[in-house]
Structure 1
Amino acid sequence: MSSIIKNMELCFLMRQLSAKDELTFLHSYRVTKIALSFASFLKLADEETRELQFGALIHDIGKLHVPAHILTKKGKLLEEEFAEIKKHPLFGIHILQHYHVSPEISHIVLYHHEQWDGKGYPHKKRGENIPFFARLVALADSLEAMTGIRPYRAPLTWEDAYKEIRKGAGTQFDPRLTTSFLLWMENHVIPIEQNTETIIQTIPSIS
């Protein structure tokens, strides 16, 4: 029963996000595909994978509370606009107060922009004080951001993104997890998908 409720919540939230900013929705979906493929590579347990799947899909749900003109801006963000964007993990936790989700899922939403060296946001957590799933989604999130569709720049190649991820090991990213992620990248490429309505229709089938 809890998985059915969770699916209904997810479908509602993701439809809202898609209506507000389609690129953020497509980003969230591809982050999830990356995270799930990496989870399979790590041989995570089924229950862990389900929690990861749900959390990755809604990791940016707080952007529902970020003004649309900032989310969809094609040029460089002003300092105050970027400061507003950086609030989205806190907005996300506020949204999730109204839904039944596990601590693991909440941790992904709140901590996916924290960095291994403590220079991330919103709470400047560092090292293993950052929950494991949040560290994993941070890698998937960064990879998708570099290689995905953005209106203001061309995507990096998978190979160039590999080099950037490697540079971030031990500073932005968990170094041990990054080593595994790079091994995964050497044998996997996750394509970009752009059919929003088809993707939304697949969400209720998630368990």
Structure 2
Amino acid sequence: MKQELYCVFCKLMRELGEKDPLTFHHSNRVTKIAVFFAKELGLSKNERKKLEVGALLHDIGKIKIDGDILNKNGKLTDEEYEQIKKHPLYGFEILENNGLSDEISQLALFHHERWDGKGYPYGLAKEEIPFLSRLLGLADTFEAMTGLRPYRKPFTWKEAYEEIERNTGTQFDPTLAKEFLRWMEKKDFESTVQSVFVR
């Protein structure tokens, strides 16, 4: 990454950490999971680097969301949820305006799209969603399930496995999800990914 873009990246990550520490830590953990999985899939170093930068910044749009909504412990109202759903659009705008590449900006834009077309912000389906965005969406969901949150207990590995299995072909790209499940079945998976959650 060029020096100028590196400075932009650091500035954005600092802003995210100041606005929403929970999302900042979430983004770091999602990135590690996504990059570990990409390596498991045999993706090139160049693809893994784009994924790493995009994953770290995938939730940057949340700096434009009201802090009371981001930090709410209870269930969001429909209106609040509609505000949260704007963060991919905000993120894309922020990254584009700061000179990040389209490939990286699109990771912020498309990480909540679903294989069945029921995601947001555009309701893209199947291969309409860029490959790295599909991979990131899977890592993002896995971290959201198994990561520590102040308002609920994390899923167990078994519960997370079953949830991914249940949503294969609907929320998740079936090929990627099956590869992720195979990865979860490996002996070293839990120790590898558990290290992501050590603070």
TM range (shorter): over 0.9
Do the aligned partners of 2:16 and 2:60 also contact (CA within 8 Å) in 1?
yes
* Structure 1 SS opposite 2:2: helix
Aligned match of 1:15: 14
AA aligned to 1:70 is: I
Q: Secondary structure at the match of 1:161?
A: helix
Give, in whole Å, the separation in 2 of the partners of 1:162 and 1:5. 41
Q: Is the 8 A contact 1:111 1:134 kept in 2?
A: yes
Q: Residue 168 of structure 1 corresponds to which residue in structure 2?
A: 167
- In the alignment, the residues of structure 2 paired with residue 100 and residue 20 of structure 1 have an alpha-carbon distance, to the nearest angstrom, of 22
Which structure 1 residue ranges, 4+ long, deviate > 3 Å from structure 2? none
What is the alpha-carbon distance in structure 1 between the residues aligned to residue 86 and residue 198 of structure 2? 27
Question: Partner residue of 1:193?
Answer: 198
Contact 2:113 2:121 (C-alpha < 8 Å) held by counterparts: yes
Distance (whole Å) between structure 2 residues aligned to residue 13 and residue 60 of structure 1: 11
Q: Which residue of 2 aligns with 1:150?
A: 149
- For the 8 Å contact 1:117–1:170, the answer to whether it is kept is yes
Larger relative contact order (Cα-Cα within 8 Å, sequence gap ≥ 6): 1
Residue 113 of structure 1: aligned partner: 112
Q: Would the alpha carbon gap of residues 111 and 152 (structure 1) be closer, same or farther in structure 2, given more than 3 Å must change?
A: same
Letter in 2 for 1:129: E
Moved more, 10-19 or 131-140: 10-19
Q: Is the 8 A contact 1:26 1:193 kept in 2?
A: no
Gaps of 5+ in 1: 195-207
Q: Distance in 2 between matches of 1:6 and 1:152?
A: 36
Determine helix, strand or coil for the equivalent of 2:49.
helix
**In structure 2, the residue corresponding to 1:97 is in which secondary structure?**
helix
1:73 matched residue in structure 2? 72
The alpha-carbon deviation at position 155 of structure 1 amounts to: 0.4
**Aligned-pair distance for 1:183?**
1.1
How far is 1:158 from its partner?
1.6
Q: Which residue pairs with 2:137 in the alignment?
A: 138
Q: Alignment length, in residue pairs?
A: 193
Q: Which SS does the other structure have where 1:64 is aligned? A: helix
Asked if 2 retains the 8 angstrom alpha-carbon contact of 1:17 and 1:61, the reply is yes
CA contact (8 A) 1:107 1:133 kept: no
Q: Residues 94-144 of structure 1: CA distance to partner in whole angstroms, max 9, x if unpaired?
A: 111221222211111000000000000000000000000100000000000
Percentage of pairs with the same residue: 52
**TM-score (norm. length: structure 2):** 0.94
- How far off its partner does 1:5 sit? 2.8
CA apart distance, 1:166: 0.8
SS of structure 1 residue aligned to 2:8: helix
Determine the C-alpha separation between the residues in 2 that align with 1:181 and 1:58: 22
CA shift for structure 1 position 47: 0.6
1:93 Cα deviation after fit: 1.2
In structure 1, the residue matched to 2:50 is 51
Tell me which residue corresponds to 1:82.
81
Amino acid at match of 1:174: D
Contact 1:30 1:193 survives alignment (8 Å): no
Which sections of structure 2, spanning at least 5 residues, go unmatched? Answer: none
Query: C-alpha root-mean-square deviation of aligned residues, in Å?
Result: 1.1
Distance in 2 (CA, whole Å) between partners of 1:193 and 1:57 is: 17
